Structure 1
Amino acid sequence: MGSLVLEALVKRYGASTAVERVDLDVRQGEMVALLGPSGCGKTTTLRMVAGFITPSEGRVLIGGRDVTRMPPYARDTGMVFQSYALFPHMSVAQNVAFGLEMRKVGRAERDARVMEALRLVQLDHLADRLPRQLSGGQQQRVALARALVVNPAVFLLDEPLSNLDAKLRGEVRMEIRALQQRLGLTTLIVTHDQEEALTMADRLVVMEKGRVRQVGTAEQLYEDPADPFVAGFVGRCNLLEGRVEAPGRFRTRAGDLLLCQAGGEAGEAILALRPERIALRAGGEGPARLAALTYLGAQTEYHVDFGATRLVVIGATPAAADPLRRLAPGDAVTLVWEASAARLLPAAA
């Protein structure tokens, strides 16, 4: 049994089901990300773990102890909120000490633990500042220190980077991951940002409409998605509806024939093909024509019409002497990919 276990967790609001039978086992020291679009049930799941929402069915176990009906302060969790939730009238040190005061920790021990937590996030020199005197990244670190100071069995993060700009998000993301690994914290993080989840978590739980669609490592979800939703949500992907005519032959609804991995029974299916798995070449006598291209610095994104089918191709930006550099919309191109790169997924998700 893991450090955090969710057993058939359900949350209903009247006739509406926000979370439907979530089962999850988070191992000691593991970081697991709940990933999905807004309204998929990931934050509701996190708040059931924290104790802010009572499950309609199922159990939450922390360290083998059933905490399903326990109040938040009795669960041995530390939580970082999306808004940071710092007290504006309290200093940095007082904000960090708040949880210890609620637990009746003595003054001497409390002060020592507060400074230790602030040193962990490299803010001990700002202990007397007020939140309004800090940058967004510094406020985020105070929120982290406040959650860490209680030595939680489970560390909970609710969209912790959503209020930071892109550059700062990348920096704080790495800091949180390094801290989590160094301290061996069992961590559950909620995010809608796939890059955030892919770079931080040991495993990902992809959710949609209250259901878990797939659980696995970043590589497993990217390379072997269980269904079209996961394929389209984790990374970029061309998803084409059609049918398998014979092993290795897929015909799109638009009537174009594409090569794919062998196998799969004849019938309705969805072909999934990652944009970076397609090689683009200038020229050709086939039906492929460049529709548009976008320069993205190190990469270039091409939109190619293959008959009546539109495919997105992403590749390294070509050198100045490369014929691809001179492509313009309407030019003929050739698309090449390994048959194994085109995966067949069930038509009905």
Structure 2
Amino acid sequence: MGSLVLEALSKRYGSSTAVERVDLEVAQGEMVALLGPSGCGKTTTLRMVAGFIPPSGGRVLIGGQDVTRAPPYARDTGMVFQSYALFPHMSVAQNVAFGLEMRKVGRAERDERVMEALRLVRLDHLADRLPRQLSGGQQQRVALARALVVNPAVFLLDEPLSNLDAKLRGEVRMEIRALQQRLGLTTLIVTHDQEEALTMADRLVVMERGRVRQVGTAEELYEHPADPFVAGFVGRCNLVSGRLEGGGFRAESGALLRCDSTGAPADAALLALRPERIRLDPDPAGEARITAVTYLGAQTEYHVEQRGTTLLVTRPTPPLGDPMRRLAVGDAVVLSWDAAAVRLLPAA
């Protein structure tokens, strides 16, 4: 096992920049997620680490060794592709053994390691089946076993759950995380799914347009976003334009919103407030009005307009018979929140 270090890693295609000077260190045994929208450069970054794409600048170090110009087979990495990339004419065991064959591992050792890898992913009883005879979740676990069997120093996962249905995705997500922690695998995973990143990774790297916007734990990114992009991408967030005024934040609509301006940036122009941090109370004299109500089972969403500013509020769905359950479009309410829950950010 070893650490992974990226130093000013960049990729350009002519005048277009796909990845711009990414600096990152993944400690031994740590799982780090590259998170961002489509086209942000996260998959390109992963493929440069794997050796499938040559970088235009910067370095890749695995276990302290510079592998920037090394071919993929010489990098001591194991990769799980989005499409699984299983050979359809090979059995499960043959698919898992392929990487060992390429490394000229002897037959006896190869067979032993293949069965050990299949036992790790609980598929040793399906070793003789073909990929088409497996479910999506089983195919995913074969791809995991094939990457693990070579005992990689660095484990690379490219959108590994995107082809699974929602229920199976949650199950396999927990399996991958448990396996990674049990084996102490240094892991870099690419995903656009916030929940996937938040629940699996030790740290997250949020990317946009080829650049790293913020690196930190899920809690750090959620509670203390560095900029409007991170605030809006990691979780849901009300972003209100305006300016600091007196003891509050004056929205462009004219509404004065409660906040704590201590330590706020001098150019603060956006108020960020998570919808679950807002309290909502029915009040016939309230100046806010509900404009939409969406029932989501355990939660209910309310869009509430107050003096020209509309805020999203999410609250646990009240039990049947509770007066809150009867709130409807047009009802008057009062909104409130703790000043400390507000984040003040510079303009995008």
TM-score range, shorter chain: over 0.9
Partner of 1:73: 73
Q: Is the 8 A contact 2:261 2:344 kept in 1?
A: no
* 1:141 paired residue number: 141
Corresponding position: 1:260 with 2:259: yes
Which residue identity lines up with residue 70 of structure 1 in the other structure? A
Deviations 1:226-266 (A, max 9, x none): 001001000010001111112x3111111111011123366
CA distance in 2, matches of 1:19, 1:33: 16
Q: CA deviation at 1:322?
A: 2.1
d(CA) in 2 for partners of 1:59 and 1:316? 48
Aligned to 1:250: 249
Q: How well do the aligned residues superpose, as a CA RMSD in angstroms?
A: 1.0
Q: For residue 305 of structure 1, what is the amino acid of its counterpart?
A: E
What residue is the counterpart of 2:225 in the other structure? 225
Please give the secondary structure, in 1, of the residue aligned with 2:291.
strand
C-alpha distance 262-154 of structure 1, shift in aligned 2 (>3 A): same
Change (3 A) 1:266 1:183: closer
Instruction: Find the aligned partners of 1:266 and 1:161 in 2 and give their Cα distance.
Output: 42
TM-score between the two structures when normalised by the length of structure 1: 0.98
Is the 1:243–1:266 Cα contact (8 Å) retained in structure 2?
A: no
- Cα distance in structure 1, aligned partners of 2:190 and 2:249: 37
Q: Which residue of 2 aligns with 1:334?
A: 334
1:1-349 matches, within 5 Å, as: 3-246=3-246, 248-263=247-262, 264=264, 268-347=268-347, 349=348
CA distance in 2, matches of 1:59, 1:268: 36
Whole-Å separation in 2 of the counterparts to 1:124 and 1:268: 57
| TM-aligned CA deviation for residue 324 of structure 1 | 1.2
Aligned residues of 1:156 and 1:187 also touching (Cα < 8 A): yes
Distance in 2, matches of 1:61 and 1:150, equals: 19
Equivalents in 1 of 2:8, 2:186: separation in Å? 20
CA contact (8 A) 2:268 2:345 kept: no
Q: TM-score scaled by structure 2?
A: 0.98
**Alpha carbons 2:249, 2:257 under 8 Å: kept:** yes
Say how many residue pairs are matched: 346
The residue type equivalent to 1:253 in the other structure is E
Unaligned runs of 5+ in 1: none
Percent identity of paired positions between Structure 1 and Structure 2: 83
Write the letter of the residue equivalent to 2:199. T
Matches of 2:230 and 2:82, distance apart in 1: 25
Task: Using the TM superposition, give the Cα deviation of residue 320 of structure 1 relative to its aligned residue in structure 2, in angstroms.
Answer: 2.1
Amino acid at match of 1:171: E
Amino acid corresponding to residue 272 of structure 1 in structure 2: A
Residue 308 of structure 1: CA displacement? 0.6
Tell me, yes or no, if the aligned pair for 1:84 and 1:139 is still in contact at 8 Å. Answer: yes
CA distance in 2, matches of 1:54, 1:222: 33
